[in-house]
Chains A and B, each alone.
Chain A
């Protein structure tokens, strides 16, 4: 059974973690409150990593790979970008290239800055001043971009040749019919994305 809960990748900078952490926590809380799921709840792990004596020796390749994989797995991406630094720009662009609706959030004013021009079909940039405002913005973004569960339940009438094909393939592969149809659609989606 496919997971029908909206998967959200939340990312941010740890360069000013003590200041940013409460706001990142609000984002994670808002994700849960809106019945979505973070792909990776990394706040505690980051806090532990930063407490280690040689945390600057972090394997950045592994960390970036994990971020990129989480983006691929997610339905939506939220970037806390108050520090407006390199990593946040890198991940925001990458998320938009994977066609993920991406919310870039900042307490730093964004007017007269490059980030304000990065808005587009997939990127939304919002400023917030406090936790309440942040909660509202995140909630609205999730509601606007989530696909309701009822829309994921899909019924269709098959013709007899298609029915026979699905029945036989199911018998041969041990996969159920929905799984076969989903795989067909996913392959078609991949083909469309590589065209």
Chain B
């Protein structure tokens, strides 16, 4: 499973410790991060390198969200970027876990009613690991669930055969493309 992790590094050393714990929990669960950006960002912070153009970073984040299965956002600093990326993740129908060391009860995040959105407060790294693991387990799509059998009607069989001959695509590929188009329609809707 691909996981996109987003956060801000307003207190670089402290934040990085917690973010590393999230990364470890992702790897221990057998999943991968869409982008391992933390070390590069920390190096930038430590050398006080400013970023003249943030557009590629924003675009990279949005691309990572699109190709991820789930999104985890550390929102302790409750920044513009975190709200922006959570709105994007929900728009792309990704399960989102927002974790924070602060309570967000009196804030916008407390008003997000989307069933794909989960908010959890944590106190320490152990707590954080438990929360992340539980979220990943809950949202894991097992490989066995990705194997799919169905009966075709003769009409559909003929249609798939013909389309396969015409396009050179396998029957599964034709069906996947059809469903994918529906997913995109729903995402845009």
Contacts from A to B (Cβ < 8 Å): 56, 58-65, 81, 84-94, 97, 111-119, 193-195
Whether A114 contacts B83 in the complex (CB less than 8 A), given A60-B111, A85-B78, comes out as: no
Q: Which residues of A contact B106 (CB under 8 A)?
A: 56, 58, 60
A61 CA to B58 CA in the complex, in Å? Answer: 27
A75 CA to B84 CA in the complex, in Å? Answer: 20
The majority secondary structure among interface residues of chain A is helix
Q: Which residues of B contact A93 (CB under 8 A)?
A: 83-85, 87-88, 91
Q: Which of A60, A61, A63, A112 contacts B50 (CB 8 A)?
A: A112
Q: Which residues of A contact B57 (CB under 8 A)?
A: 114, 117
Q: Which residues of A contact B113 (CB under 8 A)?
A: 61, 64-65
A114 close to B105 (CB less than 8 A): no
Report the contact-size class of chain B (Cβ under 8 Å from the partner).
35 or more
Whether A60 contacts B189 in the complex (CB less than 8 A), given A84-B79, A88-B80, A114-B79, comes out as: no
Q: Smallest distance from the beta carbon of A176 to chain B beta carbons, Å?
A: 30
The majority secondary structure among interface residues of chain B is helix
B107 close to A89 (CB less than 8 A): no
Q: Smallest distance from the beta carbon of B52 to chain A beta carbons, Å?
A: 8
B56 part of interface (Cβ distance < 8 Å): yes
B84 close to A64 (CB less than 8 A): no
* Nearest neighbor of B81 in chain A, beta-carbon distance: A114
Q: List 15 A-B contacts (CB under 8 A).
A: A56-B105, A60-B108, A60-B111, A62-B111, A65-B111, A86-B75, A87-B107, A89-B87, A90-B84, A90-B86, A92-B83, A93-B85, A114-B58, A116-B53, A117-B55
